Structure 1
Amino acid sequence: MRRHTGEKPHSCKVCEYSCCQKSDLVSHMKYHSGEKPHSCDECGYSCSAKSTLVMHMRTHTGEKPHSCKACGYSCARKSMLVKHVRTHTGEKPYSCQVCEYSCSQKSNLVSHIKTHSGEMPHSCDVCGYSCSAKSALVKHVRTHTGEKPYSCQVCGYSCSQKSNLVSHMKNHSGEKPYCCDLCGYSCSAKSTFVIQMRTHTGEKPHSCKACGYSCARKSDLVIHMRTHTKEKPYSCQVCEYSCSQKSNLVSHMRIHSRQKPHSCDVCGYSCSAKSALLKHRRTHTGEKPHSCDVCGYSFSQKSTLVKHVRNHSEEKPHSCDVCEYSCSAKSALVKHMRTHTGEKPFSCQVCEYSCSQKSNLVSHIKTHTRPLCTGVW
């Protein structure tokens, strides 16, 4: 009857714990006394309650007596099944008193409350990172250790977080439970779906404190920050090239391997980077998606627009170390520096002519190919 009335007549003299059964109080008191009379014959683990030992033994036997009627999921603890069933019912019995946040597990609510109090009791010994949840710290530490305890049984893929493995497995099953009502896009991971929806809403929750840049993906912000810190964590093992993005390194490595997996359907042009192919295709389509807000002039490449805008602002960020020359484009500075160094990297294959600019070489080549005058008028 006490389960219905909520009556808890048995109280602990040490702390505020109370319960409805005397046997529960007896087990609880062992936490204070440090008494652990129940021990495992397999590994030596000991505990204060017999029920705890029973559940521990299942880690050795693999026994999972509690199963879900909806999907067949099974587990060793009844409490774990209760939590799992909530993934089907959508029940979220734990609510925050400060905001509208609610969740299915009490531990999640405890971690959430700390976001209001600002409490971050868990910190990293390596870099000082701190967080409100111990589980978050465990995941973070793996960025230092490189540990990837979750592995795919199909292809050998491994990762540091279980949620990433769950998403990865959907690539094999082809399952894409998240679908956009606006454009029909579907994906296997909820996090990917959330980011996709931002392409419709225009939401950019991640912003740079240095310059105000904002973006939809946290990973994009991490990459952007490297433009301020000049960090280039990805290095080529063949030459001294280093870069801020892994994708750039992948493209760079193809220069050494001479691999050009991306080809144009129109003219057969091939290149090592997909982004280069997208730019090339615009030479066929005439597409110029990047336009100037000042004069309306449009370009096929964003980098060209950036250079053009400097004509309006008169910004000249590139300057010569030898003289006072400055310019808006880095390529112009490279050409200028050759007036000091005398470098002439462009050579004629027919004669010994060489020059500092490619355009000059193109003009020179025409002197060899130009038809001779016959003298007939």
Structure 2
Amino acid sequence: MRTHTEEKPHSCEICGYSFSKKSNLVRHIRTHSGEKPHSCEVCGNSFTEKYKLVSHMSTHTGETPHTCEVCGSSFTENSTLVKHIRTHTGEKPYSCEVCGYSFTEKSKLVKHIRTHTGEKPYSCEVCGYSCTEKSTLVIHMRTHTEEKPHSCEICEYSFSKKSNLVRHIRTHTGEKPHSCEVCGNSFTEKYKLVSHMRTHTGEKPYTCEVCGSSFTENSTLVKHIRTHTGERPYSCEVCGYSFTEKSKLVKHIRTHTGEKPYSCEVCGYSCTEKSTLVIHMRTHTGEKPHSCEVCGYSFTKKSKLVIHMRTHTGERPYSCGVCGYSFPQQSNLVGHMKTHTRT
């Protein structure tokens, strides 16, 4: 009758939450006490409720008794099957009363509602950082413990997040699952595809408030702003030289260590940058991807094409500060300057 009267006579003495059944109160109290009376005899894991233990045992037996009649997929729990079936039916029974957005699972709705309320119930006891999901807090705590539980089986590099491991593995497999429908280029990560699509649409949503320049990526805007502020946050511990970008610091450090991580499989030539290796490989393949639109002459490097174009345009951007004579290449100016310094 309490389903009709909405009577809830069983109250929690800790938080005041009330229930229509005493058994529900007993289970609720365990969220405060941490009690987990149902233990697995195989691995020792314990649970607050018996049904959770029963479901857990399937991970040891391999039993998946709940089968989807549409595609044949099977699951250890009926609740997981119910959620799965919604991928076929498209049903989203849990709706947000604020914006109307709907979800397949109640837990997803609960998380979504926090975007409206601003509630962040999970807090870090070390630094006070708070977040909307427990899983986010678990990952955050690893910034303090330095735990990296997800390891690559190929190179043994480890990560704090599983998603970072998945992306890393693609550096070994070469997998690029995100493809552009316009030009066919593919990418290892979705955000890279989103950024690439802007080269087709021309969209540049990130704008510099100082000079008005706009960019396709926020990271590019951040780097650009440093040209105004003069900030160079990445410093070399050996010589103190600083850089606007971390990648430039990494390359610079190799001038101290002598490391040349990029090697040619044909002749053994090694270099400090991947882009240098790409250009070098063209000496073997004969590829000349940069072509002059005026005369059709092609080059292995874009910089050589730029210099060549000046033979058509007549541009001479390098001028002598002594006599005013100008040149199409900087190397020409350097040679010319010697005519003034000779005694």
* TM-score, with structure 1 as normaliser: 0.61
Name 2:39's counterpart in structure 1.
96
Corresponding pairs, count: 307
Match of 2:200 among 252, 256, 269: 256
In structure 2, stretches of 5+ residues that fail to align are 326-339
Q: 1:285 aligns with which of 211, 214, 231?
A: 231
Distance in 2, Cα, partners of 1:223 & 1:145: 31
2:322 is equivalent to residue 368 of structure 1: no
| 2:66 matches 1:120 | no
| Cα deviation code 1:182-201 (max 9, x no counterpart) | 33322111111121121122
Query: In the alignment, what sits opposite 2:125?
Result: 181
- Closer, same or farther in 2 for the Cα pair 1:244/1:87, shift >3 Å? farther
Separation (CA, whole Å) in 2 of partners of 1:144 and 1:313: 53
Q: What is the CA deviation profile of residues 61-92 of structure 1, one whole-angstrom value per residue up to 9, with x for unaligned ones?
A: xx5846475799899x8478447734764453
Range 157-166 or range 239-248, more displaced: 157-166
- Measured after TM superposition, the shift of residue 313 of structure 1 is 4.9
Distance (whole Å) between structure 1 residues aligned to residue 241 and residue 324 of structure 2: 46
Q: How does 1:200-349 map to 2 (within 5 A)?
A: 200-265=144-209, 267-281=211-225, 284-288=230-234, 300-302=245-247, 305=250, 312-319=258-265, 324=267, 326-328=269-271, 329-336=273-280, 340-345=286-291
Q: Secondary structure at the match of 2:234?
A: coil
Residues 1:341 and 1:216: Cα distance change in structure 2 (over 3 Å)? closer
Distance of 2:18 and 2:254 partners within structure 1: 62
Report if aligned partners of 2:291, 2:305 keep a CA contact under 8 Å in 1.
no
Please say if residues 208 and 225 of structure 2, whose CA atoms lie closer than 8 Å, have aligned partners that are also in contact.
Answer: yes
1:196 to 2:140 alignment: yes
Q: Secondary structure at the match of 1:164?
A: helix
SS at match of 2:35: coil
Q: Deviations over 1:9-58 (max 9, x none)?
A: xxxxxxxxxxxxxxxxxxxxxxxxxxxxxxxxxxxxxxxxxxxxx99xx8
Deviation at 1:245, TM superposition (A): 1.6
Are the counterparts in 1 of residues 102 and 109 from structure 2 also a CA contact under 8 Å? yes
Q: Tell me the SS of whatever aligns to 1:122.
A: coil
1:301, distance to aligned residue in structure 2 (A): 3.0
The 8 Å contact of residues 279 and 301 in structure 1, kept in 2 or not, is answered as: no
Q: CA deviation at 1:222?
A: 2.4
The corresponding residue for 1:51 is none
8 Å contact kept, 2:40–2:46: no
**Alpha-carbon distance between aligned partners in 1 of 2:156 and 2:88, rounded to the nearest angstrom:** 29
* Separation in 1, partners of 2:103, 2:248: 35
The answer to whether the Cα contact below 8 Å between 1:66 and 1:81 also exists between their aligned partners in 2 is no
Contact kept in structure 1, 2:170 and 2:176, CA below 8 Å: yes
1:202 deviates by: 1.1
> Partners in 1 of 2:237 and 2:89 — Cα distance?
45
Q: State the SS of the aligned residue for 1:285.
A: coil
Instruction: Look up the match of 2:114.
Output: 170
Please list the CA deviations of residues 256-298 of structure 1 after superposition, one character each: whole Å capped at 9, or x if unmatched: 2222222345554432222333444555311226879xx9987
SS in 2 for 1:332: helix
Q: Does 1:107 align with 2:55?
A: no
Opposite residue 163 of structure 1, the aligned amino acid is S
Kept in 1, the 8 Å contact 2:111–2:132? The answer is yes
Structure 2 CA distance for aligned equivalents of residues 297 and 90 of structure 1: 55
Q: Is the 8 A contact 2:263 2:277 kept in 1?
A: no
Which is further off, 147-156 or 176-185? 147-156
| Distance in 1, Cα, partners of 2:89 & 2:168 | 25
1:176 aligned partner, one-letter code: K
How far off its partner does 1:105 sit?
Answer: 1.9
Report the Cα offset of residue 151 of structure 1: 4.2
- Write the distance in 2 (CA, Å) between the matches of 1:213 and 1:127: 37
Cα distance in structure 1, aligned partners of 2:76 and 2:154:
26
Q: Per-residue CA shift, 1:153-195, capped at 9, x if unaligned?
A: 4335444443222111111111112222333322111111121
Equivalent residue of 2:116, what SS?
helix
Task: Tell whether the 8 Å contact from 1:83 to 1:105 is kept in structure 2 after alignment.
Answer: no
Contiguous gaps of at least 5 residues in structure 1: 1-53
What's the TM-score, normalizing by structure 2?
A: 0.66
